Structures are given as structure tokens and as C-alpha cells.
Amino acid sequence: MSNFNQKPQANNVHTESGIEIWVDTEYLPERSEPQKERYIFSYTVTIKNKGTQTTQLLSRYWHIMDANEQIHEVEGVGVVGKQPTLAPGQHFSYTSGTSLATPVGSMQGHYVMKSADGDEFNVTIAPFRLSNPSLIH
């Protein structure tokens, strides 16, 4: 899913090197199986180019941790099969998901980006919480 016009409602916003990242999360009870210690979450990320050069997302790295401090690392080319190129002012949104063995956890990571002049740089994805809202009082 890509969207270049609407600004999402965000739980987590971070800007670095002219790239702004918003993250929204959702617990998916209909896909989760708590009795099997399987909690499913979706996350929607919006990446906005607030810089002056066109920039391309090359790869991603995720550090995913559950409440038992079990860590799962994910890295790969692009996001959801794409390596979006963003002109100044444009943004790209995508939704993906992850599973945890506990109803609460966190994610953080970075994207490797490439500017129009060929420079590669990392953009941090600040830590954000994954949680079953019925457990938070």
C-alpha cells in the first residue's frame, strides 16, 4: 500500500537525515492464539522524505523482542517486496506483521537509504511497543 497524500495518525514519530518515520501498531486478536503463546500484531510504517534530495529505501533491519526478552532479528532487501523511491515531500506507507510468544513486546531497527547523489545512510526506527490493549490499564 502506498500513499503520498495523507498523513497517518502515529504512535511513534522519529526524524533522522531528512527522513521521517511514523509507526502505528495493532494487536490482531482474531489471528492470535494465546493458548499456544502466539500473539499476532500488525504495524503500519509511513516513511516521509523531508529532505531536499530524492531518496530510495534499500533494505531493512528489525530487532523484535517479547516480554521474555526473546529476540528475533529480521533483515532483508526493501520492505514488502519494494524498494520505494521518494522525491522530497513524498511518503510511502506499508503494513506488515509479526508474532510474539507474549502479549507485550517491542520492535526497533533501521532502514538503509540511498540519496540521489549515491550516498548510503541508515535511518533509525525508534523503539515502539507491541501490546494487547486489553492488558494495559
Q: Encode pLDDT of 23-34 as tens digits.
A: 999 999 999 999
Q: Is the pLDDT of residue 38 over 80?
A: yes
This prediction's pTM: 0.86
CB-CB neighbours of 75 under 10 Å: 12
Ordered structural domains, the chain, with CATH: 12-126 (2.60.40.1470)
Q: What is the torsion angle, in degrees rounded to the nearest 10, for the CA atoms of residue 36, residue 38, residue 39 and residue 45?
A: -170
The mean pLDDT value for 63-69 works out to 97
The mean pLDDT value for 53-63 works out to 98
